[in-house]
Structure formats: structure tokens, C-alpha cells
Amino acid sequence: MKYNLIRDLYENKEAYSEKEVTISGWIRTIRDSNKFGFIEINDGTSFKGIQVVYDDSLENFSDIGKYPVATAIVVKGKFVLTPESKQPFEIKATSISLEAPSDSKYPLQKKRHTLEYLRTIAHLRPRSNTFAAVFRVRSLASYAVHKFFQEKGFVNVHTPIITASDAEGAGEMFKVTTLDLLDIPRDDRKEVDFTKDFFEKPASLTVSGQLEGEIFALAFRNIYTFGPTFRAENSNTPRHAAEFWMIEPEIAFADIKDDMDLAEEMIKYLIRFVLDNAPQEMEFFNSFIDKGLKDRLEGILKSDFERVTYTEAIRLLKESEKEFEYPVEWGSDLQTEHERYLTEMVFKKPVFVTDYPKDIKAFYMRLNEDEKTVAAMDLLVPGVGEIIGGSQREERLEVLKEKMLKNGLKEEDYWWYLELRKYGGVKHAGFGLGFERLIMYLTGMSNIRDVIPFPRTVGNAEF
């Protein structure tokens, strides 16, 4: 059976005018009176559904009025344009047949639900307007990420998800093991004997593909990774998840400025792409989720991201009249309240903060000439906060070794990372973009649990 898809009807409505069409989909709402009724039907191909008008000339008229929400039906009828009405067109049904029944206990009512409630029915929430919009935008943004980098000639690297390098240093890791937890093998010193484990050493889920990404950047020049990342932190906020997706480009023969240019170009490309390719969804977010969303995103496209050094940011914060809960002081990390103030009050747009004190940043970030700061950059955006963290990497072998020593890292654990610096280890840079935080920024959704189909957070791995 060939069905007409609602997406196609929207895109070619003039061509279908007065033509016979057959659609298949699920009932979203149904209203009837004694001689006719209306069905809003959605077939999954389009954010917006289509209204079906039916009357008592249909033999099963009285049954149709009793179909509960989510009933799957097949509708044959005439496609008519209705420029005078709220909806652009509708179908005058000549037959409606039942494809799969539903039940009146269906939990998604035709009313507004709280996002918290919808989270408890994650198996049904993709059928709601909000989540239909979120997850189609997520899909488009994912495609756009690949499209952006591929068009620029970047090579996509699948860095490992399981890692035995115990020292990526970006947070608590989930352990991967096949050992019997009820009967753990011990060695002479009563320690866990990992030689009996699957990898014969401790293994974990990755917290970042960056170090492996650097390997590929020094072979392919420009690369990116885009995959799942796992952090076992006990963090309970609307911006953190235990499993999330990260985009990590790495570029060779490039410095921190090139890195920021790339980040800015990418963010703008992604904004442009979803505005162009998900207009119905973006209109929905703008109306019901975040009133100023579209203007804000359009504004971003027209303006340059702000760029300030950490030292300059500290000065701006100190000069402000604002009372902060945490003191502003050169040498300590910016607090969330400071970041929000900078991006939301001072600049009112995305801002790169660069050149942080070396002591509060990772060992692999390149030491600046002043020997006090490193070539790091964070991109802060209004509403979401930190969305990107990146840096120029330390390419000087001796400097890197010294920093590892100070951080208590063993050279032998990083032998291959150090070796990269020996053989044509040119200057290079990269960053990590939290994909979910990007989706939050693009949609106006304020909780990360609502932009992941089945979110994993502390104490929650349902579905």
C-alpha cells in the first residue's frame, strides 16, 4: 500500500489540491457532533498534522467518534485547500479504516502536560508536540554537524568508547569489567587482580576522545569526533547527564584563534541549518517554550561572538556593581554566577573567555608566553552557560613533560601522547562541544533530560 505522507502534502499542497489522497497515522485529537466530526491526525513525517473531516455518509461513522487518542487509522479522501481557516488544508474523508486500536486510558491527553510528567512516560513523549519538535531538531542538528565538518574536509574519527588509559582526567569514569562482582579475584596484596579481567587491566567508558583525536589530527590535519561520552559524576543539575554526546574537532597547524574561529563558524552554521530545515518546530519553540528564541538566534547569526581574556573578564566583574555570592579573584575559576553575568548581562551574546590561569586548567593546554596562563577557551552562551571548552595543545615536549610531572601524571601512561610531540608535533588545537547543551541552546529547552530521548542521570536509567 502506498500512502501519501503529510510532509509531502505540506510541501506540495497546490499540486494535491482537489486530488484523492490516502494517509495513515495516529489520531491526536478528535471532535465529533451527531452528523460530522473532525480528526487531527499525525503520521510522524511532519511536525504538524492534518485535519480530516468526516460525516455520517461513512458506514462506520458512529464507531469513528469513539476512537480514542493514538488510534491508528487509514484515511482516504479528497485533499482540499482551506485558505480561510486556521489550518491551510484538510481532507474530506471518503473512508476511514482502523489500523490499530488505542485505549481511553492513553496517558497523553490533548492538554498541556508538565515536562516532569512527560519524563515519566518517555516511551510516549515523542508523540507530544514538544518532544516531536525536540527530537526532530536533534536529528537535524546531528546531520548538520557531520555536514559542516565534511564540507570542510574534516575526517570523522571513531575514537574508542572503552578505554584502558586510566588517566583521561576529565571526571569520574564508569568502570567496564567482566569480573564477577560477587567473587572478585584478589592478588597477593588483596588488591583486585585485573589481570583476570577482560582487558587484563582496569578499563572504563570514555570521558573524552580528545587524546586519540590529537593522534588523527597529526595525520589528517583536520578531524572531528562525534559520539557518546560518559561521566560518573554525582551531579544533579539541568545541564549534566551521565551519558551524553560530544563533538570534538582537532585541527593541526592551528592556534587558539583558529580554534575559536572554527567554533564560531560551526555554531552559526548549526543555527542557520535548524532555522532553515525545521521551521515549524522552531516556530513552536518560539511560541511555547522560549518567547524570544528566534530573534535571539537570528541576532547571533548577524553578530560576532565576543572574545575576552580571563584577566579582562575578572576586571569587568570587579568593576560591576553586582554583588556576587563568590568573590571575584584572579587565580580562582569563574563561578556559574560570574559566567552568567558575563554572557547574559555584560555582553548579552555568546562570549569566548580565553587565557585562564594555568593552575585551574588541564595539563595538556599550551602555556602562554607570560608563563602564568594557558591558551584555553570556554564559550559561554546566555541561558545554558558553558557550551564549549577547548584549547591550543601543548606541543613542546619538555614543557608538556614538566606539566605532567606537576600534575602527578606518569610519563609511561602517556607514552604515545608524548611521542606525538617528537615526530612532527606541530601546533594544534581543538575543543569539545556538548551536543545536548547545543540542542538546549537551539530549542530553548532548559533541562538536559528533555533533549535526550532516554536520559541517564544519577539514579535514573529507566527505559
Q: Is 309 an interacting residue with respect to RNA (CB under 7 A)?
A: no
Nearer to RNA, 241 or 353 (CB): 241
Q: Cβ of residue 49: shortest distance to RNA, in angstroms?
A: 10
Q: How far is the CB of 171 from RNA (least distance, A)?
A: 5
Contact 154, 249 (CB under 8 A): yes
Say if CB 283 and CB 295 are below 8 A apart.
no
d(CA 375, CA 398): 17
Q: Are 438 and 142 in contact (CB under 8 A)?
A: no
Q: How far is the CB of 254 from RNA (least distance, A)?
A: 19
H or E segment and range at residue 291 = none
Which amino acid does the sequence have at 282?
M
Who contacts 215 (Cβ-Cβ below 8 Å, separation ≥6)? Answer: 416, 420
Question: How many amino acids of this chain bind RNA (CB under 7 A)?
Answer: 68
**Selected binder of RNA within 12, 17, 33, 139 (CB under 7 A):** 33
Q: Would you call 13 helix, strand, or coil by DSSP?
A: helix
Q: Residue 427 or residue 437: which is nearer to RNA going by CB?
A: 437
- Contact flag: residue 226 with RNA (CB under 7 A): no
235 binds RNA (CB under 7 A): yes
Q: From 85-93, 158-166, 364-372, 422-430, give the range in contact with RNA by CB under 7 A.
A: 85-93
> Which helix (DSSP H) or strand (DSSP E) does residue 148 occupy?
helix 129-151
Give 200 or 233: the residue with its C-beta nearer to RNA: 233
| Nearer to RNA among residue 92 and residue 186 (C-beta) | 92
Find the part of the chain contacting RNA (CB under 7 A) among 106-114, 125-133, 196-204, 276-284: 106-114
Site membership for RNA, residue 38 (CB under 7 A): yes
Burial class of residue 179 (count of CB atoms within 10 Å of its CB; 0-12, 13-18, 19+) = middle
Q: Which residues of 363-372 are buried (b: 16+ CB within 10 A; e: fewer)?
A: bbbbbbeeee
Place of cell 544533579: 236
Strands 155-156 and 222-230: parallel
If binding is defined by CB under 7 A, does position 340 make contact with RNA?
yes
Q: Please report whether residue 244 would count as binding RNA according to CB under 7 A.
A: yes
Q: Is 109 in the site for RNA (CB under 7 A)?
A: yes
Q: Does 10 bind RNA (CB under 7 A)?
A: no
Please state whether 430 falls in left (phi above 0), alpha (psi between -120 and 50) or beta.
beta
Q: How does strand 50-55 pair with strand 89-100?
A: parallel
Using CB under 7 A, which of the segments 236-244, 344-352, 363-371, 405-413 binds RNA?
236-244
Interface with RNA includes 263 (CB under 7 A)?
no
Contact string 423-452 vs RNA (x = CB under 7 A): ---------xxx-xx--------xxxx---
Q: How far apart are CA 316 and CA 309, in angstroms?
A: 10
CA distance 244 to 229: 5
- Residues at the site binding RNA, with contacts judged by CB under 7 A: 29, 31-36, 38, 51, 53, 66, 68-69, 82, 85-87, 90, 92, 104, 107, 109-114, 116-117, 119, 170-171, 208, 231, 233-242, 244, 246, 326, 333, 335-337, 340, 385-389, 432-434, 436-437, 446-449, 459-460
